[in-house]
Structure 1
Amino acid sequence: MKKNISFFFIAICCLTFLGCGAYKFNTGNVGNAKTIQIDFFPNQSTLVEPTLSQRFTQDMQDLFLRQTNLTQVPGGGDLRFEGEIVDYRVNPMSATSQQTAAQNRLTITVNVRFYNRLKEEDDFEKRFSFYSDFDANSQLTGGVLDAALEEILERIIQDIFNASIGKW
């Protein structure tokens, strides 16, 4: 009897792990699409971070190529992304008793146009935005800037992925 219960328990565990392996929440449904085109996203905000456009575009290409089986092409892709960085700003967020900022917030907003040549009803134009807070005594350079950009760009690009391919 104990052998039967042990066997049953092991069988259930194996089926559970095998069943869960079939689902991946970080991949999207690309349908019949085979190629993707991600155009350069220029920085058109009033405050310009020199490396932001290149970093955003490269990070977006990397994520889509990592999480899908699409092939990147320079033109004529089944799925196409274009747009621009429209806002890059730093605002004070909280004050100290001396009426100075205790924390600042970097906010980045990207306007994205998505085109699906195979399913045009999925096309959209949308703005995606996220922020990162940092100590007001810190300069937004070096490691502070890198950490903020990593947090913001990861979130914005994942939101774009979810809106376009993830269908969230």
Structure 2
Amino acid sequence: MNNINTRSGLILKKGLVLILFLCSVFMLGSCKIYSFTGTTLSSDLKTITIQNFVMNTAGGPANLTLNFTEKLKEYYQRNTSLKLKPSDGDLFLEGSITGYELTPVAATASDKAALNRLTIRVDVRFVNTKSEDESFEKEFSFYQDFPQEQTLAQVEGSLVPKILDQLVLNIFNDTAAQW
């Protein structure tokens, strides 16, 4: 009797291990390529080309396009294993800053703006040479609000980097993380 219990316990354990193994294989097989940085890039992608973005709008700091391009390059280098290549990368990014706009928002009772909003818009062309269906042209925009009592000159130095960081993150998510 004891021998039968031991044998059925062993069969039960082997069955449980087999089920766990099959579940693991199924779950891994159904996932895209994933890394701990959140990217879903295929392993055959090795390089990226990021062209200097150009300014197609009035306004903004003189070094806006340079800062934006450098932030993009740094983010991809820090969060992927892709190597920057001056041309002919497996992935290709280019674009232009098309909007640098200051607008009043949240009017007060005296018809004055309680808040002002700085919005930056960027047109991006993304090409994945290994998977053309992932390529796109798209506009990204982000904004930051600031109190009416402050001038743009007073807050521009702190707002622009925050806006650019969020634009870079949004572009990265649409190109490398595909969320």
Report the Cα offset of residue 23 of structure 1: 5.9
Query: Where do 4+ consecutive residues of structure 1 move more than 6 Å?
Result: none
Structure 2 letter corresponding to 1:133? D
State the match for 1:27 in structure 2: 38
Alpha-carbon distance in structure 2 between the residues aligned to 1:48 and 1:150: 12
Structure 1 letter corresponding to 2:55? N
- For normalisation by structure 2, the TM-score amounts to 0.76
Q: Give the counterpart of 2:150 among 114, 128, 138.
A: 138
Structure 2 stretches lacking a partner, 5+ long = 1-33
Aligned to 2:157, the other structure's residue is in SS state helix
Instruction: Give runs of aligned pairs for residues 59-78 of structure 1, distance below 5 A.
Output: 59-78=71-90
Aligned to 1:46, the other structure's residue is in SS state coil
State the match for 1:158 in structure 2: 169
1:100 matched to 2:112? The reply is yes
Report the Cα offset of residue 112 of structure 1: 0.4
Alpha-carbon distance in structure 1 between the residues aligned to 2:60 and 2:54: 10
- For normalisation by structure 1, the TM-score amounts to 0.80
Percentage identity across paired residues of the two chains? 36
1:128 matched to 2:140? The reply is yes
Q: Give the counterpart of 1:148 among 156, 159, 177.
A: 159
Number of residue pairs matched? 145
Residues 27 and 68 of structure 1 are in contact (CA less than 8 Å); yes or no, is this contact kept in structure 2? no
Structure 2 letter corresponding to 1:154? D
Root-mean-square deviation (CA), in Å? 1.6
State the match for 2:126 in structure 1: 114
